[in-house]
């Protein structure tokens, strides 16, 4: 009985501090991650001060404005109108968790052309991104600068993702950790 208790305690500690499973709830990360996929998230390295990097898929708390319908930008009165992405989130984090890809970090200038990121004036090669579909959110010709200590996050399914374009960059402190492996379903086993 003691061994079982120690094993359960160890498993709960690992989940609380090191690695935690998450289920993908929406199509916003397709084709990389599908609805129902389950991923393991490394929470430990983030707790030790590791900073998110461009290209990583992370789990995070979005701004409270992400919970609104339509999503709310932290710049009062700014709507996503095709002129520029939201430059600032609301001041508080939502209790919900989202999963998206880091496309910009503090100091980066971010614009969007045809659903693809223009980072520091260079159109990024994004073979993982699904077509955007041509809505106003697919082109932001006026770039914003991501504040230091923040990340700009987008779903891979650009036409079906509410992300930093709508509710602004996210403080690094709201990032929970990096998705490091898909563990379910077995056909998708591996790194995302």
Catalytic residues: 28, 100
Tell me the three state secondary structure of residue 119: strand
Contact of 31 with 130, CB cutoff 8 Å: yes
Euclidean distance between CA atoms 99 and 155, whole angstroms: 8
From 133, 122, 149, select the one nearest 27 (Cα to Cα): 133
DSSP state of 146: P
Which strands make up the sheet holding 116-119, listed edge to edge? Answer: 122-123, 116-119, 109-113, 140-145
Contact 104, 117 (CB under 8 A): yes
Cross-strand bridge partners of residue 19: 42
Asked if residues 33 and 157 have their Cβ atoms less than 8 Å apart, the reply is no
Contact 124, 110 (CB under 8 A): no
Q: How far apart are CA 83 and CA 8, in angstroms?
A: 52
């Amino acid at each position: 009985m003691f061994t079982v208790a120690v094993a359960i305690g160890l498993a709960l500690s690992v989940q609380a501090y090191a690695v935690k499973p998450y289920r993908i709830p929406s199509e916003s990360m397709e084709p990389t991650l599908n609805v129902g996929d389950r991923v393991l998230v490394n929470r430990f390295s983030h707790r030790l001060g590791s900073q998110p990097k461009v290209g990583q898929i992370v789990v995070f708390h979005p701004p409270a404005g992400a919970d609104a319908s339509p999503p709310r930008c932290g710049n009062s009165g700014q709507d996503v109108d095709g002129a520029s992405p939201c430059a600032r989130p609301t001041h508080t984090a939502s209790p919900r968790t989202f999963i998206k890809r880091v496309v910009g970090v503090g100091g980066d200038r971010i614009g969007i052309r045809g659903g693809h990121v223009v980072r520091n004036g260079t159109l990024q090669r994004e073979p993982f991104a699904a077509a955007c579909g041509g809505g106003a959110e697919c082109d932001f010709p006026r770039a914003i600068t991501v504040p230091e200590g923040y990340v700009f996050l987008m779903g891979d399914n650009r036409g079906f993702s509410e992300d930093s374009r709508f509710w602004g960059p996210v403080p690094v402190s709201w990032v929970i950790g990096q998705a490091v492996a898909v563990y379910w379903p077995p056909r998708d086993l591996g790194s995302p």
